[in-house]
Structure 1
């Protein structure tokens, strides 16, 4: 694999993007439906390839949280197919008029959504991202280049073949969906330098991958971020509700970025709440890494350090601390949060408003599980990632976030 190989697929994607941009919603939706049908028809091939990837990962000693992200099942394949069908039911963002007006001189001016052109995804482990990214890119009129991790290469190879063949049979450009060649990091480096061929790169994975892309890319990057997610239980919280939400936020699926990693509890309810929440978490299999207050109520609590406050575990582990009040909680979150999702559980409306206004994260949640920070749960359909940056896109990224805009001006002979 050489730089020329990577630039070749990017060039083909560039040509395909020109033909994708003007396609009707009907044409794109028909392709999405065909891709969903093709996934279901190829599930045996997909599972066979994925089984080889998973076995190789286990042999290499990959942790269980990454194994979970890597593993496909019949149910997960069906969910991916349903995601494509859901996308077909969503409104097409391309052509939407963001704003429009008529100037006093008669010029009709409109800002209109248009595709980026060529979108590249660089991501780790999760082969479902391959399908989500391909579907969202296609629906928003973009060609997509997919560079998953080497651990999922066989799975992604089959998925991309199935999806691209189905799209092509539906009349879409043959190079609209492509896998970036190469297993070495060099192929990612070549992709990051393909400015002029690739319009935007979206990294999705751990901090190491994201930082590498951000620091080395000459192509514009939409930065997704890790999820050091906090739940703060305020003094006025309904403790039954708080227990349910904390446990769900942690154990629903601990290997994903919207899983809660840190628990903060108001000192005024610590005596009552700490024993019950520590016990509930431990019954669910969670290892609690707590401060001296948590350690005092349960001998199985492990001592927490600064490393725990900043860590995205992606496992059945949770950091836990008692705070003196809402401002102490906010200060802790502002220091340690990754800016992904942070939640407050409270019955005090003023405290809820204070928390929402002072916690600077992509999603701030009041009295609900952090697991709701998700494109599907927000009603977007399949998401392409969760952005923690502040430019263009922030939070779950759906179809509109995969578009740019252009200005269209109609006149009837005006001169300046």
Structure 2
């Protein structure tokens, strides 16, 4: 490996990027972008450190820190500070396009972890934390930088071996590396082949039907340690439970522990989707002119591929806007849940005020039928109670079909006398 602009001591680090780690960072970016949409937060809530606010303000060319929004953080390319005291770097997780981070003679937050920047600012090309009392405890966990070409961790208190440093996750090929004036022991670390360490699986996104079989070992292909030697599945730590009997989205992580001074590791993250068949149940409805109707009236139930209950708002509905309950007729309404599709009918029936027995005429026979209904609840042949509630609602002209009574009977008598 060819090195340029070598500073002493020198560190040679090979590229160790894996597609799964890129995927994991991409997922983090999308999640943070969703959070970014909330623009009403006071900056002091999501970026509490005033020195961070001021450094960002200067870099963005703003006159006031209150002008900074989460969306605006995507415009931040450089964060440079000298002799500042930081209590928190919260807020910088929104700076996804940050390419240069430089901290010189600064006081780091208590319990600072470099993994904070590895997870949230993956596009860094220059990283400098010099004379900031950086210690090995700040370098634990999963740390991946894929684009670094200049690295300066000089004049700190880092302990351990040189090879420990190379085990900070999947690191980088750096043109310029400066680790001078730390407490690292040992010689230069060896060069690692491209893609090592690495964990390979058959799929990063697995989908199985409910009650199907799946095991994490079935999806495993291979793994390599830092020297390129193969590692068996049993040497990995696999976390995340998958219940094939219950639809849902499950996360599984294959983790390789380097067992070094700083307890760093690499991992492969994947999603297991346990799905079931979509369901959609609808029904036909019948109503009378003037009644109200809405799509929920013809809808019973629906579930998605994960068995989650859906509402009408989750479906695609066609034809609902054509249903006009003022005009009798038969209307078709189509409901779609993904690939499932059902067509229902909305039947709007007509009625004649006073035609209680529904024979098309208003006469004394209707008066007898109406009296029977009001006294005993008896219905005429082939006539529903819903029809009578509309046709018999004479005193309000059919506008209140749920309140027929003796007043409507009297209104029918008057109507017959006036014929």
TM-score by length of 1: 0.17
Greater RCO (CA < 8 Å, at least 6 residues apart) = 1
Higher relative strand content: 2
TM-score by length of 2: 0.17
Higher relative helix content: 1
